Structure 1
Protein backbone atom coordinates (compact mmCIF):
# COMPACT_ATOMS: atom_id res chain seq x y z
CA UNK A 1 0.00 0.00 0.00
CA UNK A 2 2.66 2.52 0.99
CA UNK A 3 4.69 1.85 -2.16
CA UNK A 4 1.62 2.71 -4.23
CA UNK A 5 1.27 5.95 -2.26
CA UNK A 6 4.88 6.86 -3.01
CA UNK A 7 4.37 6.22 -6.72
CA UNK A 8 1.10 8.20 -6.68
CA UNK A 9 2.79 11.12 -4.89
CA UNK A 10 5.69 11.11 -7.37
CA UNK A 11 3.24 11.14 -10.27
CA UNK A 12 1.23 13.85 -8.53
CA UNK A 13 4.39 15.90 -7.90
CA UNK A 14 5.32 15.93 -11.58
CA UNK A 15 1.70 16.32 -12.70
CA UNK A 16 1.20 19.57 -10.77
CA UNK A 17 4.55 20.87 -12.02
CA UNK A 18 3.80 20.04 -15.66
CA UNK A 19 0.27 21.43 -15.35
CA UNK A 20 1.68 24.56 -13.72
CA UNK A 21 4.23 25.04 -16.48
CA UNK A 22 1.56 24.35 -19.11
CA UNK A 23 -0.64 27.03 -17.55
CA UNK A 24 2.30 29.40 -17.33
CA UNK A 25 3.76 29.05 -20.82
CA UNK A 26 0.95 27.70 -23.03
CA UNK A 27 -2.13 29.29 -21.48
CA UNK A 28 -0.19 32.39 -20.35
CA UNK A 29 -1.93 32.11 -16.95
CA UNK A 30 1.08 32.87 -14.76
CA UNK A 31 -0.85 33.06 -11.47
CA UNK A 32 -2.57 29.70 -12.06
CA UNK A 33 0.80 28.21 -12.99
CA UNK A 34 2.33 29.47 -9.77
CA UNK A 35 -0.53 28.06 -7.69
CA UNK A 36 -0.22 24.65 -9.35
CA UNK A 37 3.56 24.53 -8.89
CA UNK A 38 3.12 25.58 -5.25
CA UNK A 39 1.06 22.43 -4.69
CA UNK A 40 4.17 20.22 -5.10
CA UNK A 41 5.28 20.58 -1.43
CA UNK A 42 1.72 19.84 -0.33
CA UNK A 43 2.03 16.44 -1.97
CA UNK A 44 5.10 15.71 0.20
CA UNK A 45 3.10 16.69 3.27
CA UNK A 46 0.30 14.35 2.20
CA UNK A 47 2.79 11.49 1.77
CA UNK A 48 4.33 12.13 5.18
CA UNK A 49 0.91 12.26 6.82
CA UNK A 50 -0.33 9.09 5.12
CA UNK A 51 2.87 7.23 6.02
CA UNK A 52 2.59 8.28 9.67
CA UNK A 53 -1.10 7.35 9.81
CA UNK A 54 -0.37 3.98 8.20
CA UNK A 55 2.34 3.20 10.78
CA UNK A 56 0.28 4.56 13.66
CA UNK A 57 -2.64 2.33 12.69
CA UNK A 58 -0.50 -0.70 13.49
CA UNK A 59 1.05 -1.53 10.13
CA UNK A 60 4.43 -3.22 10.26
CA UNK A 61 7.27 -0.88 9.36
CA UNK A 62 8.57 -1.85 5.92
CA UNK A 63 11.37 -0.63 3.69
CA UNK A 64 8.72 1.31 1.72
CA UNK A 65 7.99 3.45 4.79
CA UNK A 66 11.69 4.28 4.86
CA UNK A 67 11.58 4.98 1.13
CA UNK A 68 8.80 7.49 1.81
CA UNK A 69 11.05 9.24 4.36
CA UNK A 70 13.95 9.32 1.90
CA UNK A 71 11.68 10.56 -0.89
CA UNK A 72 10.51 13.41 1.32
CA UNK A 73 14.08 14.34 2.31
CA UNK A 74 15.32 14.42 -1.27
CA UNK A 75 12.21 16.21 -2.47
CA UNK A 76 12.83 18.96 0.09
CA UNK A 77 16.53 19.26 -0.78
CA UNK A 78 16.31 18.91 -4.57
CA UNK A 79 12.70 19.91 -5.29
CA UNK A 80 13.39 23.58 -6.00
CA UNK A 81 16.25 22.69 -8.33
CA UNK A 82 14.13 20.16 -10.24
CA UNK A 83 11.31 22.68 -10.63
CA UNK A 84 13.79 25.32 -11.82
CA UNK A 85 15.22 22.86 -14.38
CA UNK A 86 11.71 22.02 -15.62
CA UNK A 87 10.85 25.73 -15.80
CA UNK A 88 13.94 26.54 -17.87
CA UNK A 89 13.31 23.57 -20.15
CA UNK A 90 9.65 24.52 -20.66
CA UNK A 91 10.60 28.17 -21.19
CA UNK A 92 13.18 27.22 -23.82
CA UNK A 93 10.73 24.93 -25.63
CA UNK A 94 7.58 27.06 -25.56
CA UNK A 95 8.65 30.65 -24.87
CA UNK A 96 12.05 30.97 -26.61
CA UNK A 97 13.83 31.04 -23.25
CA UNK A 98 17.55 30.62 -22.72
CA UNK A 99 19.18 27.21 -23.21
CA UNK A 100 20.39 25.17 -20.27
CA UNK A 101 23.97 26.00 -19.44
CA UNK A 102 26.53 23.21 -19.54
CA UNK A 103 29.05 23.89 -16.81
CA UNK A 104 32.73 23.06 -17.11
CA UNK A 105 35.96 23.61 -15.22
CA UNK A 106 35.71 25.25 -11.82
CA UNK A 107 32.02 26.08 -12.30
CA UNK A 108 31.18 22.39 -12.58
CA UNK A 109 33.31 21.56 -9.53
CA UNK A 110 31.50 24.21 -7.48
CA UNK A 111 28.16 22.82 -8.68
CA UNK A 112 29.27 19.34 -7.55
CA UNK A 113 30.04 20.63 -4.05
CA UNK A 114 26.68 22.41 -3.94
CA UNK A 115 25.12 19.04 -4.74
CA UNK A 116 27.03 17.57 -1.80
CA UNK A 117 25.43 20.21 0.42
CA UNK A 118 21.99 19.42 -1.03
CA UNK A 119 22.52 15.69 -0.54
CA UNK A 120 23.67 16.35 3.03
CA UNK A 121 20.47 18.33 3.61
CA UNK A 122 18.44 15.49 2.05
CA UNK A 123 20.24 12.93 4.23
CA UNK A 124 19.70 14.91 7.42
CA UNK A 125 16.05 15.57 6.56
CA UNK A 126 15.46 11.91 5.70
CA UNK A 127 17.15 10.84 8.93
CA UNK A 128 14.96 13.17 10.98
CA UNK A 129 11.83 11.85 9.26
CA UNK A 130 13.02 8.29 9.90
CA UNK A 131 13.63 9.14 13.59
CA UNK A 132 10.11 10.54 13.75
CA UNK A 133 8.58 7.45 12.18
CA UNK A 134 10.58 5.18 14.51
CA UNK A 135 9.42 7.21 17.49
CA UNK A 136 5.85 6.99 16.19
CA UNK A 137 6.00 3.18 16.02
CA UNK A 138 7.51 3.10 19.49
CA UNK A 139 8.77 -0.50 19.38
CA UNK A 140 12.44 -0.84 18.37
CA UNK A 141 11.94 -4.47 17.37
CA UNK A 142 9.44 -3.40 14.70
CA UNK A 143 11.56 -0.64 13.15
CA UNK A 144 14.59 -2.51 11.78
CA UNK A 145 13.31 -1.98 8.23
CA UNK A 146 13.42 1.77 8.84
CA UNK A 147 16.83 1.73 10.53
CA UNK A 148 18.39 0.01 7.50
CA UNK A 149 17.95 3.25 5.57
CA UNK A 150 20.64 5.01 7.63
CA UNK A 151 23.38 2.99 5.93
CA UNK A 152 21.84 3.57 2.49
CA UNK A 153 21.74 7.32 3.13
CA UNK A 154 25.42 7.27 4.11
CA UNK A 155 26.29 5.42 0.91
CA UNK A 156 24.36 7.97 -1.17
CA UNK A 157 26.16 10.84 0.58
CA UNK A 158 29.50 9.06 0.18
CA UNK A 159 28.97 8.64 -3.57
CA UNK A 160 28.12 12.33 -3.87
CA UNK A 161 31.30 13.29 -1.98
CA UNK A 162 33.46 10.97 -4.12
CA UNK A 163 31.92 12.51 -7.25
CA UNK A 164 32.72 16.04 -6.06
CA UNK A 165 36.25 15.10 -4.97
CA UNK A 166 36.92 13.48 -8.35
CA UNK A 167 35.94 16.67 -10.18
CA UNK A 168 37.98 18.72 -7.73
CA UNK A 169 41.06 16.67 -8.58
CA UNK A 170 40.26 16.23 -12.28
CA UNK A 171 38.02 19.15 -13.33
CA UNK A 172 35.75 18.83 -16.34
CA UNK A 173 37.62 20.30 -19.33
CA UNK A 174 36.67 23.81 -20.35
CA UNK A 175 34.52 24.09 -23.42
CA UNK A 176 36.47 24.65 -26.58
CA UNK A 177 35.20 27.55 -28.59
CA UNK A 178 35.60 27.15 -32.32
CA UNK A 179 36.38 30.49 -33.86
CA UNK A 180 36.63 30.78 -37.62
CA UNK A 181 39.37 33.16 -38.63
CA UNK A 182 38.53 35.13 -41.69
CA UNK A 183 41.42 36.23 -43.87
Structure 2
Protein backbone atom coordinates (compact mmCIF):
# COMPACT_ATOMS: atom_id res chain seq x y z
CA UNK A 1 0.00 0.00 0.00
CA UNK A 2 1.73 3.14 -1.16
CA UNK A 3 -0.82 5.91 -0.81
CA UNK A 4 -3.87 6.27 1.40
CA UNK A 5 -6.29 9.19 1.46
CA UNK A 6 -9.16 10.06 3.77
CA UNK A 7 -12.63 10.97 2.56
CA UNK A 8 -16.07 11.47 4.09
CA UNK A 9 -17.86 8.14 4.64
CA UNK A 10 -20.99 7.88 2.47
CA UNK A 11 -23.62 5.24 1.78
CA UNK A 12 -21.59 4.23 -1.29
CA UNK A 13 -18.80 3.08 1.03
CA UNK A 14 -21.15 1.01 3.17
CA UNK A 15 -20.50 -2.46 1.63
CA UNK A 16 -16.75 -2.09 2.26
CA UNK A 17 -17.26 -0.51 5.70
CA UNK A 18 -19.60 -3.36 6.65
CA UNK A 19 -17.05 -5.95 5.48
CA UNK A 20 -14.28 -4.34 7.55
CA UNK A 21 -16.65 -4.17 10.54
CA UNK A 22 -17.34 -7.90 10.06
CA UNK A 23 -13.59 -8.66 10.04
CA UNK A 24 -13.28 -6.89 13.40
CA UNK A 25 -16.21 -8.87 14.80
CA UNK A 26 -14.70 -12.15 13.61
CA UNK A 27 -11.38 -11.33 15.27
CA UNK A 28 -13.21 -11.26 18.61
CA UNK A 29 -11.44 -8.27 20.20
CA UNK A 30 -13.02 -5.29 18.47
CA UNK A 31 -16.60 -5.03 19.70
CA UNK A 32 -19.37 -6.60 21.72
CA UNK A 33 -21.55 -6.51 18.59
CA UNK A 34 -22.11 -9.92 17.01
CA UNK A 35 -23.17 -8.54 13.60
CA UNK A 36 -22.61 -5.26 11.78
CA UNK A 37 -25.64 -2.95 11.83
CA UNK A 38 -27.63 -2.18 8.71
CA UNK A 39 -26.77 1.02 6.88
CA UNK A 40 -29.89 2.67 8.31
CA UNK A 41 -28.96 1.75 11.89
CA UNK A 42 -25.38 2.94 11.35
CA UNK A 43 -26.53 6.16 9.68
CA UNK A 44 -29.02 6.90 12.46
CA UNK A 45 -26.64 6.05 15.31
CA UNK A 46 -23.51 7.86 14.14
CA UNK A 47 -22.85 11.57 14.10
CA UNK A 48 -22.34 13.22 10.71
CA UNK A 49 -19.16 14.82 12.04
CA UNK A 50 -16.07 12.67 11.65
CA UNK A 51 -17.47 9.88 9.47
CA UNK A 52 -14.34 9.11 7.52
CA UNK A 53 -12.98 6.32 5.33
CA UNK A 54 -9.42 5.64 4.27
CA UNK A 55 -9.04 4.59 0.65
CA UNK A 56 -6.00 3.13 -1.07
CA UNK A 57 -4.48 4.15 -4.38
CA UNK A 58 -7.14 2.23 -6.35
CA UNK A 59 -10.04 3.64 -4.33
CA UNK A 60 -10.69 0.58 -2.13
CA UNK A 61 -11.80 1.32 1.42
CA UNK A 62 -9.14 0.08 3.86
CA UNK A 63 -10.50 1.59 7.10
CA UNK A 64 -13.15 3.74 8.69
CA UNK A 65 -13.89 5.83 11.76
CA UNK A 66 -17.13 7.25 13.16
CA UNK A 67 -18.59 8.41 16.46
CA UNK A 68 -21.80 8.45 18.45
CA UNK A 69 -22.88 10.88 21.15
CA UNK A 70 -22.45 9.49 24.66
CA UNK A 71 -25.66 11.14 25.85
CA UNK A 72 -28.59 13.20 24.61
CA UNK A 73 -28.20 15.57 27.56
CA UNK A 74 -27.10 19.06 26.51
CA UNK A 75 -24.23 19.12 29.02
CA UNK A 76 -22.59 16.19 27.19
CA UNK A 77 -22.92 17.70 23.70
CA UNK A 78 -19.13 17.77 23.30
CA UNK A 79 -18.47 14.18 24.37
CA UNK A 80 -18.43 11.38 21.79
CA UNK A 81 -17.50 7.72 21.65
CA UNK A 82 -15.65 6.67 18.53
CA UNK A 83 -14.85 3.44 16.70
CA UNK A 84 -11.98 2.91 14.29
CA UNK A 85 -11.53 -0.19 12.14
CA UNK A 86 -8.76 -1.09 9.68
CA UNK A 87 -9.08 -3.89 7.11
CA UNK A 88 -6.94 -6.93 7.88
CA UNK A 89 -5.00 -6.43 4.65
CA UNK A 90 -4.05 -2.85 5.65
CA UNK A 91 -3.13 -3.28 9.31
CA UNK A 92 0.27 -2.07 10.45
CA UNK A 93 0.57 0.49 7.65
CA UNK A 94 -0.48 3.72 9.36
CA UNK A 95 -4.13 3.66 8.25
CA UNK A 96 -5.42 3.85 11.83
CA UNK A 97 -3.19 6.82 12.60
CA UNK A 98 -4.31 8.63 9.47
CA UNK A 99 -7.99 8.06 10.32
CA UNK A 100 -7.61 9.03 13.96
CA UNK A 101 -5.69 12.21 13.13
CA UNK A 102 -8.36 13.30 10.61
CA UNK A 103 -11.13 12.42 13.06
CA UNK A 104 -9.59 14.39 15.95
CA UNK A 105 -9.22 17.43 13.65
CA UNK A 106 -12.88 17.18 12.63
CA UNK A 107 -13.98 16.69 16.24
CA UNK A 108 -12.03 19.74 17.38
CA UNK A 109 -13.53 21.86 14.60
CA UNK A 110 -17.02 20.65 15.59
CA UNK A 111 -16.55 21.70 19.22
CA UNK A 112 -16.07 18.21 20.67
CA UNK A 113 -14.03 18.38 23.85
CA UNK A 114 -13.82 14.69 24.79
CA UNK A 115 -13.42 11.67 22.52
CA UNK A 116 -13.64 8.35 24.31
CA UNK A 117 -13.68 4.62 23.58
CA UNK A 118 -13.69 1.31 25.37
CA UNK A 119 -11.07 -1.15 24.13
CA UNK A 120 -10.55 -4.79 25.03
CA UNK A 121 -7.19 -5.20 26.86
CA UNK A 122 -6.29 -7.91 24.34
CA UNK A 123 -6.50 -5.40 21.47
CA UNK A 124 -2.92 -4.22 21.86
CA UNK A 125 -2.78 -2.64 18.38
CA UNK A 126 -5.73 -0.36 19.14
CA UNK A 127 -4.34 0.56 22.55
CA UNK A 128 -0.96 1.42 20.99
CA UNK A 129 -2.65 3.49 18.25
CA UNK A 130 -4.59 5.51 20.80
CA UNK A 131 -1.60 5.89 23.13
CA UNK A 132 0.42 7.35 20.25
CA UNK A 133 -2.43 9.79 19.45
CA UNK A 134 -2.40 11.21 22.97
CA UNK A 135 -5.33 9.32 24.50
CA UNK A 136 -5.04 8.56 28.19
CA UNK A 137 -6.20 5.41 29.89
CA UNK A 138 -8.85 6.25 32.46
CA UNK A 139 -9.17 2.76 33.91
CA UNK A 140 -10.32 -0.80 33.45
CA UNK A 141 -13.99 -1.68 33.53
CA UNK A 142 -13.85 -5.21 34.87
CA UNK A 143 -16.36 -7.82 33.73
CA UNK A 144 -18.38 -5.09 32.02
CA UNK A 145 -20.22 -7.38 29.59
CA UNK A 146 -20.78 -11.04 28.81
CA UNK A 147 -19.59 -12.04 25.34
CA UNK A 148 -22.33 -13.65 23.23
CA UNK A 149 -20.36 -14.86 20.19
CA UNK A 150 -17.03 -16.10 18.93
CA UNK A 151 -14.13 -17.67 20.78
CA UNK A 152 -14.94 -15.68 23.95
CA UNK A 153 -18.63 -16.66 23.96
CA UNK A 154 -19.91 -17.00 27.53
CA UNK A 155 -16.90 -15.16 28.99
CA UNK A 156 -17.06 -11.88 30.89
CA UNK A 157 -14.89 -9.25 29.22
CA UNK A 158 -13.01 -6.27 30.57
CA UNK A 159 -12.55 -3.03 28.66
CA UNK A 160 -10.12 -0.17 29.07
CA UNK A 161 -11.78 3.24 29.00
CA UNK A 162 -9.68 5.81 27.15
CA UNK A 163 -10.20 9.47 26.37
CA UNK A 164 -8.69 12.33 24.42
CA UNK A 165 -9.39 15.81 25.76
CA UNK A 166 -9.19 18.88 23.57
CA UNK A 167 -6.55 21.31 24.79
CA UNK A 168 -8.02 24.65 25.76
**TM-score, L = length of structure 1:** 0.27
* More strand by percentage: 2
Higher relative contact order, chain-length normalized (CA < 8 Å, sep 6+): 1
* More helix by percentage: 1
Larger Rg: 1
**TM-score, L = length of structure 2:** 0.29
